[in-house]
Amino acid sequence: MYNFEFEQPGTIAEAAAALGSEDALALGGGQTLIPAMKQRLNAPGTLVSLSGIAEMKGVCLRDDGALSVGGGTIHATVAAQAGAHYPALAALASHIGDPAVRNRGTIGGSLANNDPAACYPSAVLGSGATVVTNTREIAADEFFQGMFTTALGEGEIIVEVRFPIPEKAHYEKFVQPASRFALTGVFVAKYADGVRVAVTGASEEGVFRWSEAEAALSGEFSAAAIEGLSVPADGMIGDLHGTPAYRASLVSTLTKRAVAAAH
Amino acid sequence: MPQVSMTVNGKATSGDVEGRTLLSSYLRDHLGLTGTHVGCDTSQCGACVVHVDGEAVKACTIFALEAEGAEVATIEGQANADGSLNVIQQAFQDHHGLQCGFCTPGMVMSAAALLKDNPKPSEAEVRAYLEGNICRCTGYHNIVKAILAASGQDVGAIAAE
């Protein structure tokens, strides 16, 4: 990989300043960015590591009842600490990658990258969470803007993610065993004002909400309520692991499983 | 060139590194600790697993500068003080948990991280924890058996598959 200047600021303000320099890029846990840099798919002039910023780490319950996860929180911490408040989110975090990856990879890094097969985007979209950056708050519905594309501006840092806690939720992941990403994954969350269904790993547009299933499940929260519903294969990802039709079929199957398993 | 300092297997180390120097490269090329193997260099195989401040990480997917000030443990620091194999290493030998041995340093370091948090794991928990450690020789069975034995559990009942 090409060489770069390495900065490790201790505060969000210092990180924002460091990211102002030309060709600067933020480094979360590096579990995607470092492999990409090895392949020279990414070659920042300055790499600003966010892992030394204590104020961006940790899981806590806010006064308004939402679960706050610091943008620099590693998956292992979410898996270990979110369970008491939001079990489906903790379960999702506990199956990302493998144990060593979960000890480095962060929620902020995953969201900023917005890999079309990553797990976290489905939880954030499926929970209607708020992505808090160093400059503003972004609703999940505005944040994800297509494969590897987000609403984040140049040098903007995800400092926190706020998850409204649902009555019931579940993430059903069909693992692509070589990459340990989701071949397809569905996050279902039932709130007092309706059900949200977010799908990752399936669409060429990245994570998306399956509104037809949401409407049916908001009427009756059972797998039977979405019997016969399906998403069109058009626009689904097709690769050597699965055809568009296969992924479309996974979406309805996994949604039913997620509803049945939600608690 | 930036300088990095960290404790490796209880000894203070420091060296001049580039920003792009990986922890695996610092350990192997700067310190000569070649027990940490680089199998894939794409964070898939787990042969390079070391502990940074007590947590298992893939040394090929963390920069040396990110480990500034950390306590790092590698396979070279795993043996007992008298040089004899520790309980996990001995179990790998007793239960034939390796063939070519390339993946073994990562396997042993992952096993140590697992047993620290979960001293009596089930067979399923061991297999789940080794998801990021690939072995092309053994078929994993004897590795799992060795780790269960190292945790003090009876492995006589586990039949070969």
pLDDT, tens digit, for every residue of A104-131? Answer: 999 999 999 999 999 999 999 999 999 9
Query: What is the pLDDT at residue B156?
Result: 78
Q: Closest to A35 (Cβ–Cβ): which among B46, B61, B66? A: B61
Closest CA to B58 of B40, B81, B80, B70: B40
Kindly state whether residue B64 falls inside one of the protein's structural domains: yes
- What's the pLDDT score for residue A22? 87
To the nearest whole number, what is the mean pLDDT of chain A?
97
Distance linking the first and last C-alpha atoms of chain A: 45
Q: Which residues contact residue A90 at a Cβ distance below 8 angstroms, ignoring those fewer than 6 apart? A: A78, A79, A80, A81, A82, A83
**Calpha distance A186→A249 (Å, rounded):** 12
Q: Which SS3 state, helix, strand or coil, does residue B6 take?
A: strand
Average pLDDT of each block of 10 consecutive residues along chain B (161 residues)? 96 98 98 97 94 98 98 98 97 97 98 97 96 95 97 79 53
Produce one character per residue of A197-219: b if its CB has 16 or more CB atoms within 10 Å, e if not: bbbbbbbeebbbbbeebbebbbe
* B68-77 per-position pLDDT tens digit: 999 999 999 9
Looking at 3.90.79.10, 3.40.50.150, 3.30.390.50, 3.30.1130.10, the CATH number of the domain A168-261 comes to 3.30.390.50
Helix (H) or strand (E) holding A226: none
Nearest-by-Cβ selection for B132 from A4, A35, A98: A98
Q: How far is A42 from chain B (nearest CA, A)?
A: 13
Intervals of CATH 3.30.43.10 along chain A: 1-48
Measured between alpha carbons, how far is B83 from A157 in angstroms, rounded to an integer? 48
Mutate to test the interface with B, among A6, A25, A75 (most CBs of B within 10 A): A6
Express each pLDDT in A26-63 by its tens digit: 999 999 999 999 999 999 999 999 999 999 999 999 99
Residue B159 confidence (pLDDT) = 57
User: Which CATH code of 3.40.50.2020, 1.10.3720.10, 3.30.43.10, 1.20.120.1750 fits the domain covering A1-48?
Assistant: 3.30.43.10
Can you tell me the ipTM of this complex? Answer: 0.95
Instruction: Give pLDDT < 50 ranges for chain A.
Output: none
